[in-house]
Amino acid sequence: MGLFNVYPLYDVTPVSAKGIYVYDEDNREYLDLYGGHAVISIGHGHPKYVKAITKQVAKLGFYSNAIQNPLQKQLANKIEKLSGCKDYQLFLCNSGAEANENALKLASFKTGKSRVIAFKNGFHGRTSAAVAATDNAAIIAPINAQQKVTTLELNDIQGVEKELKKGDVCAVLIEFIQGVGGLDQATAEFFEKVDALCKANNTFFIADEVQSGYGRSGKFFAFQHYNVTPDIISIAKGMGNGFPIGGILIHPSIEAKFGMLGTTFGGNHLACVASLSVLNVIEEDKLMDNVKEMSEYFIKIAKTIPHIKRIKGRGLMLGLEFDFEVGDLRKKLIYEYQIFTGGAANKKLLRILPPLTIKKEHINQFFEALVDALDK
């Protein structure tokens, strides 16, 4: 049987990984500044993570959501402790799209409304409502296009106000740092005004923290750089360090009802243990301090390189903008310097999404290679 050919692939076959490095079948070493698309938060094969998962799978990998699973409660408590999102309620699922899908569904159930406001260059996943709220016509099938979504420019506060006043908007869905789109951020004034408008119009304010959450921005959540209180926060990528898990944090004012949301695999024992051990490592190894320190170090060096026209993003969710498209540069970095980086919808942007455990020596290695590649 062949594979359904939907991914344009680089010609690299990783077979193992450790920390910031990935190794191919010839044992060639690659510096991973992409983290499998912002997924590897605590580094590849972290010994505490490997131990926790191994122990759990030998004990009980999965049962259903029809039984008691104290690991879910432990995970909820740990997220609350590290994020400071007091008394929010946790619903667990398996991916970022599913998190946003459940967030939108819950907003619609609770407000009785169905239109969504999303933003230009936003990315929220590939399922029904999530993809309809994603600003990329090429991935929206006719069945998804039935959803009612209005896409506005970031910072268009008059637009948000006008649409919310119509009374049919269940949710405003936003990334506080756009990932796939290219690391644009709205202003603090915009975020805070949208929050207030949502509260005044019985509309849920949903923070899509699938990529920016779990410490990547330098705070636990990117929205915490602002004075806002989202009704729902969606999370996924960094949660499991590669083990598939997603979830939504739901404001304490929102009441659950049996059967309202559900999933077979979401919140299984193995996923909970993976995510718990990620949080333990973030806490014990003080990774959020490391994010701040390494981010400053990275930006300081980037500022000295004249080819770089703009530095975008926050924490370890960064982008280097050039005045040319970076597709060939990314290939050069992989094939000639063995360094993984990311691309974006903005073709001139090189995205940097390393494990949060990155050190100065890795950043030095990257910049030496980048300067060499640019000067060639």
Ligand X SMILES: Cc1ncc(COP(=O)(O)O)c(C=O)c1O
Site residues (vs ligand X, CB under 6 A): 95-97, 100, 123-125, 175, 179-180, 208, 210-211, 236
For residue 149, which of 116, 124, 172, 173 has the smallest C-alpha distance? 116
Alpha-carbon distances of 176 from 35, 52, 326, 341, rounded to whole Å: 20, 32, 24, 21
Confirm if 57 and 273 have CB atoms less than 8 A apart.
Answer: no
φ/ψ region of 155 (left if φ > 0, alpha if ψ in -120 to 50, else beta) reads left
Report the residue number, 340 or 363, with the smaller CB distance to ligand X: 340
Report the residue number, 100 or 295, with the smaller CB distance to ligand X: 100
Confirm if 261 and 107 have CB atoms less than 8 A apart.
Answer: no
Report the residue number, 243 or 370, with the smaller CB distance to ligand X: 243
Confirm if 106 and 250 have CB atoms less than 8 A apart.
Answer: yes
Q: Reduced to 3 states, what is the DSSP secondary structure of residue 115? A: strand
Q: Identify the residue whose tokens are 């060939």.
A: 328
- Point out the residue whose Cβ comes nearest to ligand X: 96
Handedness of CA 71, 272, 238, 226 (dihedral sign): negative
Residue 51: enclosing H or E segment and its boundaries? helix 47-59
Query: Cβ 359 to ligand X, closest distance in Å?
Result: 25
Report the residue number, 53 or 210, with the smaller CB distance to ligand X: 210
Query: Cβ 373 to ligand X, closest distance in Å?
Result: 26
Report the residue number, 180 or 250, with the smaller CB distance to ligand X: 180
Query: Cβ 255 to ligand X, closest distance in Å?
Result: 26
Query: Cβ 32 to ligand X, closest distance in Å?
Result: 17
Query: Cβ 126 to ligand X, closest distance in Å?
Result: 6
Query: Cβ 38 to ligand X, closest distance in Å?
Result: 7
Report the residue number, 96 or 319, with the smaller CB distance to ligand X: 96
How far, in Å, CA of 372 to CA of 337, rounded?
A: 9
Task: Kindly give, in sequence order, each residue whose CB lies less than 8 Å from that of residue 335, ignoring residues fewer than 6 positions away.
Answer: 11
Report the residue number, 211 or 275, with the smaller CB distance to ligand X: 211
Confirm if 195 and 186 have CB atoms less than 8 A apart.
Answer: no
Q: Identify the residue whose tokens are 């060499």.
A: 372
Query: Cβ 138 to ligand X, closest distance in Å?
Result: 15
